[in-house]
Structure 1
């Protein structure tokens, strides 16, 4: 984490009160919607730095973003990160979305997670990879089309996965496969 006012990887000064985040893989300037999978709260933040440099973590949030997600007490949370088009927001405004109803997680059951293997422009490539992973015993798989920027992409995911430990194990296995 940066000290207040020191430049981030994007060159902007670090401000814990801004709605920003750090990512090792997303391009600087990318806008993402981060959802706390335990309580359903969401925030929109801009990637302005590199990190986290802690194993098994996918994003570092500014204090303001973490506060909006109600994750300050624990320090970490199970989250979903999705890139979005640049929102029409002032750069200095904190932007938090009202939490959706928690009907998707009745009785406090663990959230159902999916691990994305890839997004493919060619359906035949996606189907071939789905078959490849099935033969390797990686299941359950789901393959579905989405429309992005006027074209169809085929999303291949493993899941649902009920526990973070299983997700971590599977992620490690897929990473070791290349």
Structure 2
């Protein structure tokens, strides 16, 4: 083989070896090319989970620094800097073996057990969101948590890149929060919003249903928060039986659908994922 051909062959082998050793096809992370409507993304519903058999090795070392994974997320509260990750990692496996989807609400954390659920509140604008922690990172010393691109956009900091946040772990065994609307049959299906009957306003007004809980104390806390945020009345409506009572949190009543819709949109701007309009009689008063 002539030297030029030998050199060409060696270069080809080196390039192929480099591609094979690289986990990602992109050198730098980026936002998705197409715009993302975060109001169409299903909320994360906390539920009891089994600790993953992978991703929870403790201690573990990255970039010369050693980390201890917490035995439980229960009681975890922290404040720090949040960043986000997106297109570079989209479609690749997270630390606990799930597939990272930048269009879903998830997060990476260095020491929380995988998986778990936390509420992240943007301290700059007050927006909050529940995410599923299923990955390890970020490993920059100045950052506390990495959110998926969609979560960062929902919290209002995707464009600026980072923001200060409050992280509060959610204990799914106490059923802190459940969706108001029926849960989607799969992560790619968004539940439809019920259509209001024309007579709803004349039957006693409209309400904006914000969330539903199996934990009454959690429902009471949200009522207090909504009254302070909106300066509007809020109530709890109970449904179910003795074995399982659902406490629905509603704001109102409103005399017109326009007024109710305006409050619904205000709630969405403040990080509430799926408020819906309901008639006064839905669920019965508590």
TM-score calculated relative to the size of structure 2: 0.32
TM-score calculated relative to the size of structure 1: 0.50
Q: Radius of gyration: which is bigger?
A: 2
